[in-house]
Structure 1
């Protein structure tokens, strides 16, 4: 019989556990899966994530994020196109915070976020011009 007070060292998903200086074969389903925690680095403009800091630096060097890129008015995320900005704010996988604020005070044509519902109504008068 094996004592349970000794430290148990697990070798990923192998079917061997080392208990003290002894080993015991177990089923792979009984071996606890412990995901490795890795630090993710985020681009401050587009929030793309990479495992290595060097990759983020290279992304920032080559992606040419600009003040002219479409930007979310809530979280300031830079997007490559207005379509990707629309997906970010109102698509099926939209960010919850951005989506709720956009639904309340966002213009559906130009994707601008206004400071209040009243300012949104004023903005719509200019943005939603009719041809008549």
Structure 2
């Protein structure tokens, strides 16, 4: 399975986007790995700590050894709901309800990316370093 933590993001997609953002031809090596650092903390995304294992980097390239990839996803919330007895669940959703939740998470994600894009223009605003942010487009898978 090429998906990162059971999401819609494939390793190849992540690699091509991070390469473009960092303007490098180095590739992720076989020792790349991912840890779900958001497990049990948040329920509307997967927060992935990726250990990059760059291969083929130029001697003068300063590539990050670790990056965080935040992927909007209802999977953590769905996992939580499925773990509870029926009487304790916030709601029992069908597939249509979960699809609606995914759509809303994608809209929220787009607002977050736009916020980083805007505030990234200002040196005095303390925000995390954003290598790239991908807007979800309606009808287009990421």
Same fold flag (TM > 0.5): no
TM-score normalised over the length of structure 1: 0.21
Relative contact order (alpha carbons < 8 A, sep ≥ 6): 1 or 2 greater?
2
TM-score normalised over the length of structure 2: 0.19
Structure number, greater radius of gyration: 1
